[in-house]
Amino acid sequence: MSAVTGPISYHGPTPQPQRASSDNYLNHTRGVMSWAFTLDHKRIGLMYMIGILASFLLAGLFAIMVRTMLWHPLTAEAGASQGALNSAHDLYNHMFTLHGAVMVFMFIIPSVPAILGNFILPMQLGAKDVAFPRLNLLSFYCWVVGGVFFVYLLLSGVLHAMGFNVPGGYGLDTGWTFYTPYSDAKAQGSVVAATIGVFILGFSSILTGLNFIASIHMLRPRGMGWFKMPLFLWALYSTSLIQILATPVLAITVMLLCAERAIGIGIFDPARGGDPVLFQHFFWFYSHPAVYIMVLPSMGIISELIVAFSRKHIFGYSFIAMSSLAIALLSFFVWGHHMFISGQSAVTDAIFSLITFAVAIPSAVKVFNWLATLFRADIRLKVPMMYALGFIMLFTIGGLTGLFLGTLAVDVPLTNTYFIVAHFHYVMMGSTLFAFIGGMYYWWPKMFGKMYNETFAHVAFWFVFVGFNLTFFPQFIAGTKGMPRRYASYPVLSSDGRPTHFVTYHRLSTTGAYTMGTGLFLVLGTWIQSLRRGKQAPPNPWGANTLEWRCPSPPPHDNFTETPVADDPYDLSGWKYVSEEVGWVYDREQAAADVAAHVAH
Amino acid sequence: MSSTEQTLAADSHAGHNGHHDPHLAHHFDTPEQQYTSGKLGMWMFLGTEVLMFGGLFCAYAVYRHNHPEVFEYAHQYLDRKLGAINTLVLITSSLTMAWGVRAAQMGKRGLLVALLLLTILGGAGFMFIKTIEYSTKWREHIFIGSGNVFYESNPETKPQSVNGLEEEALHINEAKPETVATVKVEPDVVDPNAGTPDAALIKPPNITPAGLSEKVKAGVTERMSYNSLVKQDQTRVYTFFAIYFFMTGLHGVHVLVGMGLITWILVRAARNEFGPTYFTPVDLVGLYWHLVDLIWIFLFPLLYLIH
Amino acid sequence: MLHAILAASDPTFWLPRGASTVSGDVDMLFNIVMWICIFFFVLVTVLLLLFVVMYRHRPGVKRSTAAEHSTLLELTWTLIPSIIVVFLYYYGFRQYMNMVIEPPNAYEITATGKMWQWSFTYPTGVETNELHVPVNVPVRVILQSNDVIHSLYIPAFRVKKDVVPGRFNRLWFQATDNGQYDIYCTDYCGTNHSTMRSTAVVESQADFDKWMKITIDTNNNLPPVQKGKKLYMTQGCAQCHTLDGTRLVGPSWKDMWGRTEQLESGPDIVVNAPYVTESILLPQAKIVKGYPPSMPPFQLKPADISALMEFMKSISSHTSAADMMPTTGPATQPAATEPALTGSTTQK
Amino acid sequence: MTTAAQASHDTDHDHDPGAVHAHIMPPRILLGVYGALVVLTVLTVAVAYLELGKLNIWAAMIIAVIKASLVVLYFMHLKYDNLFNGVVLITALIFVALFIAVTMMDTAEYKPNENQPGTRVMMTSQNGG
Chain D: closest CA distance from residue B249 (Å):
20
Under the banding of pLDDT at 50, 70 and 90, the label for residue C266 is: confident
What ipTM, to 2 d.p.?
Answer: 0.84
The pLDDT of residue C239 is 76
Q: How close B154 comes to chain C (CA, Å)?
A: 10
Q: If contacts are CB pairs under 8 Å, which of residues 33-72 in chain B contact chain C?
A: none
Q: Does residue B15 register a pLDDT over 60? A: no
- CB contact C170 to D (< 8 Å): yes
pLDDT at C256: 85
What is the rounded average pLDDT of the residues A365-380? 92
- Average pLDDT estimate for A381-395: 95
Total beta-carbon pairs less than 8 A apart between chain B and chain D = 175
Q: What is the CATH number of domain C107-215?
A: 2.60.40.420
> How do the domains of chain C map onto residue ranges?
2-53+70-100, 107-215, 224-343
CB contact under 8 A, B242 and A33: no
pLDDT of D68 over the 90 cut: yes
Residues 254-283, chain A: which have Cβ within 8 Å of D? 273, 275, 277-278, 281-282
Average per-residue pLDDT for chain B:
72
Could you tell me what percent of chain A has a pLDDT over 70?
95
Which D-chain residues 79-118 have CB contacts (< 8 A) with chain C? 109-112, 114, 117-118
Q: What is the pLDDT of residues C163-218, one digit of tens each?
A: 998 788 889 999 999 999 999 999 999 888 998 999 999 999 999 999 999 888 87
Shortest distance between the Cα of A18 and any Cα of chain D, in A, equals 22
What is the residue extent of each domain of chain D? 24-76, 82-108
Q: Is there a cis peptide before residue B197, judged by omega within 30 degrees of 0?
A: no
CA distance C347 to chain A (A): 34
Is D111 within 8 Å of C167 when comparing Cβ atoms? yes
State residue C268 phi and psi, 5-degree precision.
-80, 160
- Alpha helices by DSSP H, listed for A534-566, are none
Query: Using one digit for the tens of pLDDT, what is the confidence trace for C79-128?
Result: 999 999 999 999 999 999 988 888 888 899 999 998 888 999 998 888 88
Best probe of the C interface among D106, D107, D121, D123, by most C CBs < 10 A, is: D123
Q: A247, B41: Cβ pair inside 8 Å? A: no
Contacts of A274 in chain B (CB under 8 A): 239
Query: Would you place residue B197 in the very low, low, confident or very high pLDDT band (cuts 50, 70, 90)?
Result: very low
User: In b/e form, how buried is each residue of C281-298, taking b as 16+ CB within 10 angstroms?
Assistant: bbbbbbbbeeeeeebebb
What distance in Å separates residue C57's CA from the closest CA in chain A? 5
What is the predicted pLDDT for the residue at B193?
33
Chain D residues within 8 A of B67 when measuring between CB atoms: 112
The string of DSSP codes covering C100-140 is HSPPSS-EEEEEEEETTEEEEE-TTS-EESSEEEETTSEEE
| D5 with A275: Cβ contact below 8 A | no
Q: Residue type for B137, please?
A: K
Can you give the pLDDT at residue B195? 34
Among the residue ranges A338-352, B286-300, D101-115, the one predicted with the least confidence is: D101-115
Nearest residue to D41 via CA among B100, B89, B250, B93: B89
Between CA A455 and CA C300 the distance in angstroms is: 71
pLDDT of residue C182: 93
What is the structure's pLDDT at B93? 95
pLDDT digits 0-9 by tens, A223-264: 888 999 999 999 999 999 999 999 999 999 999 999 888 887
* Cα–Cα dist C70/C76, whole Å: 10
Q: Do the Cβ atoms of D75 and B290 come within 8 Å?
A: yes
Write the residue in B1, B11, B246 that is nearest to A259 by C-beta: B246
pLDDT tens by residue, C133-162: 999 999 999 998 888 999 999 999 999 999
* Interface contact C182-A187, CB threshold 8 A: no
CA distance A406 to A426: 16
DSSP state string for D44-105 = HHHHHTS--TTHHHHHHHHHHHHHHHHIIIIIT-GGGS-HHHHHHHHHHHHHHHHHHHHHHT
The answer to whether the Cβ–Cβ distance between B189 and C334 falls below 8 Å is yes
What per-residue confidence (pLDDT) applies to B19? 47
Kindly state the average pLDDT of the residues B162-191.
Answer: 35
In this complex, is the C-beta atom of B36 within 8 Å of any C-beta atom belonging to chain A?
yes
Contact with chain D for residue C101, Cβ under 8 A: yes
What is the chain D residue with the closest CA to B87?
Answer: D41
**Taking all residues of chain A, what is their mean pLDDT, rounded to a whole number?**
89
Give pLDDT tens digits for C10-42. 446 788 888 999 999 999 999 999 999 999 999
Higher pLDDT, C224 or B267: B267
Other chains touching A, judged by 3 or more CB pairs under 8 Å: B, C, D
Q: Which of A114-128, A545-559, C64-78, C288-302 has the lowest mean pLDDT?
A: C288-302
| Best C112, C143, C160, C167 residue to mutate vs chain D (most D CBs within 10 Å) | C167
Q: How far is CA A54 from CA A48, A147, A409, A460, in A?
A: 10, 11, 41, 19
Min distance C280 CA to chain B CA atoms (Å): 10
Q: What is the pLDDT of residue B18?
A: 44
Q: Does C333 touch chain A (CB under 8 A)?
A: no
In the predicted structure, residue A419 carries a pLDDT above the cut 50? yes
What's the pLDDT band for B14 if we cut at 50, 70, 90? very low
- Dist CA A451 CA A545 (whole Å): 19
Question: Is 90 exceeded by the pLDDT of residue B222?
Answer: no
Q: Output the DSSP codes for A465-532.
A: HHHHHHHHHHHHHHHHTT-BSS-SS--SB-TTS-B--HHHHHHHHHHHHHHHHHHHHHHHHHHHHHHH
Give the count of beta carbons closer than 10 Å to the beta carbon of residue C24.
13
Q: Does C121 touch chain D (CB under 8 A)?
A: yes
pLDDT at C328 over 70: no
Question: Measured between CB atoms, does C167 come within 8 Å of chain D?
Answer: yes
- For the ranges A86-95, A105-114, A293-302, C216-225, which has the lowest average pLDDT? C216-225
pLDDT for the residue C124:
86
Query: pLDDT-derived band of residue A501, with 50, 70 and 90 as boundaries?
Result: confident
Biggest distance spanned by C-alpha atoms of chain B: 99
Q: Which residue of C has its CA nearest to D114?
A: C166
Q: Nearest Cβ partner of C246 from A83, A314, A379? A: A83
Task: Give me the residue spans of the domains in chain B.
Answer: 30-146+237-304, 152-208
DSSP 8-state secondary structure symbol assigned to residue B145: S
Do the beta carbons of residue A313 and residue D95 sit within 8 Å?
no
Mutation target for A interface from D81, D98, D102: give the one with most A CBs within 10 A.
D102
Q: Which chains touch B (3 or more CB pairs under 8 A)?
A: A, C, D
Contact A413, A441 (CB under 8 A): no
Task: Quick: pLDDT tens for A190-207.
Answer: 888 899 999 999 999 999
Q: Please report the pLDDT score of residue D129 as a whole number.
A: 29
Whether residue B4 has pLDDT greater than 90: no
B183 to chain D, minimum CA–CA distance in Å? 17
Higher pLDDT, A462 or C317: A462
Domain C224-343, architecture per CATH: Orthogonal Bundle (1.10)
Mutate to test the interface with B, among D44, D62, D75, D106 (most CBs of B within 10 A): D75
pLDDT digit string (tens) for D23-48? Answer: 888 899 999 999 999 999 999 998 88
Cβ-proximal residues to A300 (8 Å cutoff; 6+ apart), any chain: A230, A231, A232, A233, A234, A235, A236, A324
User: If one looks up domain B30-146+237-304 in CATH, what number appears?
Assistant: 1.20.120.80
The architecture CATH gives domain A32-600: Up-down Bundle (1.20)
The per-residue pLDDT for A593 is: 78
* D89/B47 touch (CB, cutoff 8 Å), yes or no: yes
pLDDT at position D111: 61
Q: Which of A360, A410, A594 sits opposite C85 (nearest CB)?
A: A360
* pLDDT tens figures, A82-100: 778 888 899 999 999 999 9
Rounded CA gap, A564 and A481, in Å?
A: 58
At B148 the pLDDT is 62
Per-position b or e across C228-247, b if 16+ CB within 10 A of its CB:
bbbbbebbbbbbbbbbeeee
pLDDT at A306: 95
Residue C327: per-residue pLDDT: 42
- Whether the full predicted model's pTM is greater than 0.90, yes or no, is no
Per-residue model confidence as pLDDT tens digits over A122-176: 999 989 899 999 999 999 999 999 999 899 888 888 888 888 888 777 888 899 9
> How far apart, in whole angstroms, are the C-alpha atoms of residue A19 and residue A540?
10
In C179-198, the residues whose Cβ lies within 8 Å of chain A are 179-182, 184-195, 197
Residue D35 exposed, middle or buried by CB count within 10 Å (0-12, 13-18, 19+):
exposed
Give the closest of C89, C162, C184 to A482, CB-based. Answer: C184
D106 vs chain B: nearest CA distance in angstroms?
9
The answer to whether the CB atoms of D129 and A348 lie below 8 A apart is: no
Q: What is the pLDDT of residue C343?
A: 35
pLDDT of residue B200: 35
* Statement: residue A1 has pLDDT above 80: no
Which residue in B26, B33, B232 is closest to A218 by CB distance?
B33
Q: What is the pLDDT of residues A561-576, one digit of tens each?
A: 778 888 889 988 888 8
3-class state of residue B206 by DSSP: coil
Terminus-to-terminus CA distance in chain C, angstroms? Answer: 86
- Between C328 and D76, name the one with better pLDDT: D76
Average pLDDT, chain C: 82
Q: Does B55 touch chain A (CB under 8 A)?
A: yes
- What are the sequence ranges of the domains in chain A? 32-600
B70 pLDDT higher than 60: yes
Highest mean pLDDT among A291-295, B216-220, C329-333: A291-295
Distance CA A584, CA A574 (A): 10
pLDDT at D2 over 90: no
Are the beta carbons of A273 and D2 separated by less than 8 Å? no
Share of chain B above pLDDT 90, in %: 39
Cβ-defined contact of B155 to C274 (cutoff 8 Å): no
Residue of A nearest to D111 (CA): A275
Considering only alpha carbons, which residue of chain B is nearest residue A185?
A: B156
- Average pLDDT of the segment spanning A566-590: 86
Residue A164: which residues within 8 A CB-CB, separation 6 or more?
A: none
In angstroms, how far is the first alpha carbon of chain D from the final one?
A: 48
